[in-house]
């Protein structure tokens, strides 16, 4: 299953809370993509993902960062 969470335009801590909630729903082989437009939100969301043992990767296009999370 793949889920997308749109956290663009939101100020902290909202993107971080949305990321934590999405991670809680992940099963093995599931993925979530968090859409972000703030470097601070990206740092916070990445930190939360890593603390929850998620693999992370990022891609950027047109000012939008896609943070992809997956549980191993």
C-alpha 40/C-alpha 34 separation (Å) is: 14
Residue 20 CA to residue 52 CA, distance in Å, equals 9
What is the domain extent for residue 33? 2-70
The predicted structure's pLDDT at residue 29: 84
| pLDDT higher than 90, residue 4 | yes
Of 32, 44, 37, the closest CA to residue 65 belongs to 37
Number of compact structural domains in the chain: 1
**pTM as predicted:** 0.92
The confidence band for 1, taking pLDDT boundaries of 50, 70 and 90, is: confident
Contact 55, 70 (CB under 8 A): yes
- Res 71 pLDDT > 90: no
Tens digits of residue pLDDT in 17-66: 999 999 999 988 899 999 999 999 999 999 999 999 999 999 999 999 99
CB-CB contact of 70 with 41 (8 Å): no
The CATH number of residue 42's host domain is 3.30.110.40
């Amino acid at each position: 299953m793949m889920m997308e969470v749109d956290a663009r335009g939101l100020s902290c801590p909202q993107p971080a809370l949305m990321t934590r909630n999405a991670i809680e729903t992940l099963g093995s082989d599931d993925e979530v993509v968090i859409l972000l437009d703030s470097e601070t939100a990206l740092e916070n969301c990445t930190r939360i993902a890593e603390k929850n043992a998620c693999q992370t990767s990022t891609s950027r296009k047109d000012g939008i960062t896609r943070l992809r999370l997956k549980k191993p």
